[in-house]
Amino acid sequence: MYERTVISTSRAKKAEAALPRFAFTRADVEAIAAKTKEPAWLTERRLAAWQTFEATPMPTLNDEAWRRTDLRPLKAGQLALPSLNGKGPARRAPAYLHKPLVGKQQGGLLVINQGKVEETALAPDLKKRGVIFTDFVTAARDHGDVVRKFIGRTVKSEDGKFAALSAALARTGVFVYVPKGVEVELPLHSVIWDRGAGASLFTQVLVAVDDGAQATFVHEAASPTADGQSLHAGAVELIVEDNAHLKFVELQSWGEHVWNFTHERARIGRDSTFDWIFGAIGTRLTKSFMTVDLDGEGSTAKMSGFYFTDGDQHLDHDTQQNHNAAHATSDFLFKGALKGNSRSVWQGMIYVAPGAQKTDGYQANRNLVLSKNARADSIPGLEILADDVRCTHGATVGQIDQEHVFYLMSRGMPRPEAEKLVVDGFFDPIMQRIPYEGVRNRLKKAIVEKMG
Amino acid sequence: MTTALEIRNLHVNVGDKPILKGVNLLVKQGETHALMGPNGTGKSTLAYTLMGHPGYTVTAGQIIFKGVDLLELEPDERSRLGLFLAFQYPVAIPGVSVANFLRTAINARRRAAKPDDKGIPIPEFRKALKSKMDLLSMPHDFAGRYLNDGFSGGEKKRAEILQMAALDPEIAVLDETDSGLDIDALRIVAEGVNRLAGPTMGVLVITHYQRILNYIKPQFVHVMLDGRIVESGGAELALHLEEKGYDWVREKYVEKT
């Protein structure tokens, strides 16, 4: 009897902690739709998304894509929606976020502070040429037909529980449209700034670059670290039509209390190029699905990403390069350093569809583990259904080589400086792929801060 | 206080294995010493131990430099005190350019001397680096290459001497700097060393062969065997070794013990 008691005790301890349950309701969706005075089709889209959200089970460690990312510590029931009638934020977003990140000038700036548009500007000549660059709600109201044409083309509610939640509840977001043949020289820069714990934020970022057009779009998401938990769930949809060019720089520096879930997907048309630079240094936990569909023949996608984690951060990125057409090139390099008890997960996949001959695909994830308790999981994958392709991949998890540190110390650098220089060197191949000094400086600053 | 490197009865283990078994050596500023000996007698162990490599354990003895007990210091502190080691096998540091590396090293020295130092101004650094590269017949694009990454044997050795030139040490230890160099590369490297050496620098040339000593003329030559210096003399000793090999030293040493 005694033994049986012990067994049942240990079972009780092992019992699965409850999965997170959000307190949001369909009435919340309806209230948001009423408040935003949006077109009917968008409300319908929200309600359909809500239905999908409700029908989709919360991911667990038994789901392949979520095997290494545990949602149970998220106290979802305590997260509130942003107030529909609140006054504006008490303080402006930090000044550095209002400054250009790329180059000295910008073609447009949009700063959204806790859901409210704090600053919005678009160069008059771009406006005249039909460029749209505004927040999501305004775009839906004023340019409903254009938004409707592109929204949901790459990210769908069915892609996951959080994709559906974001589609149902988002009031914050960015819309970029570059009409056919328009070349936007100066970057368009958007910032989403948030703060506080116990909050939830849902965003939709939608970028469409039409045939023969080109643009550079910089998007930053940031907040200060607070006690407790916050939620961000968002979709990033990037549509690059035929013979078009998009450079997309994305920096994520949410506070280290934020639980962040994103579905980001780009679709690249014929003879188009897409250059995606992304950096992740914030959040308590991130699960991001990042996909590029090379749908057009002769399309090219280059992806260059970095992350640097410390403390208890957990960053999980699923990346997918889908070669759906022949003669397409994808080149993916993702480098990360880890400190403290932090953990990173990368699962990458190059998929080559039947008939996508002459595909040239590359993916690599390199990790530098800087502490005993940090851990990086790096899982590349190839699924090739065409026979005339070149696909290569690499995944490494390493530590600082003490011989390197000794060599640098023998030239007079104290150990922390020597280690920092090795880390700088580790990130250099990514730096080389980032043509923007402002973005490189942001990474450098993160390295300095994280290296202590 | 003289700027001298004094090694007293140094015993060093690698793991449990004794490698150095009582080395005594005095190198003063302005002097050039050669340390010769067959492979595996502990020459490189001495070099690494001088610089403070964590893989080498000093079990007895002292190393005194400028009146300071070096064994109490970290490798970076030894470097900033004025000791330099040109490595036999310098490691490649991917992603770190020669220029970035040297500037960081110079700035580390400046900051150690003066904590609020802003670092060497870039134009001043560039100018200094170019002139040092010219001294070693190095093309200027060398500064932009990743340190030792994909360097040929000769480039690696030249890069070591470039670092020596940039850091301006008081005692330099050259560990097999001649190995793997063809005669032209050897001459360039040796000429570089000679231009840097002078009354303010002491040099300890560690070598297996006499060849480099045709270019870098030592006043003192020492022979190491089995973890000890067993024979010391003037420049003529090196020539004698070149002619007769190490066997006679070995025989003499075995007789003595």
With CA atoms as reference, report the closest residue to A261 among A226, A301, A217, A221.
A221
| Residue B3 pLDDT | 79
Position with higher pLDDT, A12 vs B161: B161
Q: Name A361's bridge partners.
A: A330, A391
Is the Cβ of A425 closer than 8 Å to some Cβ of chain B? yes
pLDDT digits 0-9 by tens, A272-287:
999 999 999 999 999 9
Using alpha carbons only, give the angle A406, B18, B24 rounded to the nearest 5 degrees: 80
Spell out the domain ranges in chain A: 23-276, 297-452
Q: What is the mean pLDDT of residues A265-274?
A: 98
Residues in chain B closer than 8 A to A409 (CB atoms): 52, 74-76, 79
Q: Is the pLDDT of residue A167 over 60?
A: yes
A182-231 pLDDT, tens digit per residue, is 999 999 999 999 988 889 999 999 999 999 999 999 999 999 999 999 99
pLDDT tens-digit map of A371-380? 999 999 999 9
Q: What is the rounded average pLDDT of the residues B102-129? A: 95
Using CA atoms, how far apart are residues B62 and A8, in angstroms rounded to an integer?
Answer: 64
Q: What is the SS3 assignment for B49?
A: helix
Nearest to B76 among A402, A409, A427 (CB): A409
| pLDDT grade for A10, boundaries at 50, 70 and 90 | very low
Contact between chains at A412 and B85 (C-beta distance less than 8 A)? no
Q: Which superfamily does B4-256 belong to?
A: P-loop containing nucleotide triphosphate hydrolases (3.40.50.300)
Do the chains contact at A414 and B104, CB–CB below 8 Å? no
Contacts across the A-B interface (CB distance below 8 Å): 81
With CA atoms as reference, report the closest residue to B34 among B198, B180, B217: B217
Nearest by CB to residue B105, choosing from A402, A406, A411, is A411
Query: Which run of H or of E encompasses A231?
Result: strand A230-240
Is the backbone of residue A37 left (phi > 0), alpha (psi -120 to 50) or beta? left
How large is the ipTM?
0.96
User: For residue A350, is pLDDT > 70?
Assistant: yes
Give the start-end residues of each E strand in A256-327: 258-268, 273-280, 285-294, 300-309, 314-323
Residue B2's pLDDT band, with cuts at 50, 70 and 90, is low
Q: Hey, are the CB atoms on A401 and B95 less than 8 Å from each other?
A: no
Three-state DSSP at B196 gives helix
Chain A residue with CA closest to B110: the answer is A412
Q: Are A175 and A133 in contact (CB under 8 A)?
A: yes
Hey, are the CB atoms on B105 and A415 less than 8 Å from each other? no
Domains in chain B: boundaries:
4-256
C-alpha span between B116 and A182 (Å, rounded): 51
Strands in A300-309's sheet, in edge-to-edge order, are A116-122, A108-113, A188-193, A214-222, A245-253, A273-280, A300-309, A329-338, A360-369, A390-399
Please write the tens of the pLDDT for every residue from B146-168. 999 999 988 999 999 999 999 99
User: A413, A428, A444: best mutation site toward chain B, by most B Cβ within 10 Å?
Assistant: A413
Residue B171, pLDDT score:
95
Chain B residue with CA closest to A427: the answer is B95
Q: Which residues contact A419 (CB under 8 A, 6 or more apart)?
A: A370, A400, A405, A451
Nearest in space to A432 (alpha carbons), one of A312, A268, A306, A251: A306
Beta-carbon contacts of A171 under 8 Å, excluding residues fewer than 6 positions away, are A32, A35, A36, A82, A115, A136, A137, A202
pLDDT of A203: 97
Mean pLDDT over A48-52 rounds to: 98
B210 and chain A in contact, CB less than 8 A = no
DSSP state of A256: T
* pLDDT: which is higher, B60 or B199: B60
Is A11's pLDDT higher than 70? no
Q: How far is B135 from chain A (nearest CA, A)?
A: 20
From the list B52, B78, B105, the residue facing A413 with the nearest CB is: B105
How many CB atoms are located within 10 Å of the residue A130 CB?
15
Q: Do A407 and B85 touch (CB under 8 A)?
A: no
Q: Which residues of A touch B78 (CB under 8 A)?
A: 410
A413–B104 C-beta distance less than 8 A: yes
Q: Is B151 on the interface with A (CB under 8 A)?
A: no
| pLDDT band of B211, cuts 50, 70, 90 | confident
B112 — contact with chain A (CB < 8 Å)? yes
Percent of chain A, pLDDT > 70?
Answer: 96
Q: Does A409 touch chain B (CB under 8 A)?
A: yes
- Nearest CB to A411 within list B54, B100, B163: B163
Helix, strand, coil content of chain A in percent (nearest 5): 25, 35, 35
Distance between CA atoms of residues B229 and B36, nearest Å: 9
Tokens 């502490």, residue located: A371
Chain A nearest CA to B91, separation (Å): 7
Residues of B in Cβ contact (< 8 Å) with A404: 91, 93
Within 8 A of B105 by CB-CB distance, chain A residues are: 408, 411-413
What residues in B contact A410, CB-CB < 8 Å? 51-52, 75-76, 78-79, 85, 87
**In the structure, what pLDDT confidence band is assigned to residue B256 with cuts at 50, 70 and 90?**
low
Whether residues A412 and B167 touch (CB distance < 8 A) is answered with yes
Which two three-digit tokens encode residue A43? 């409300």
The SS3 call for residue B162 is helix
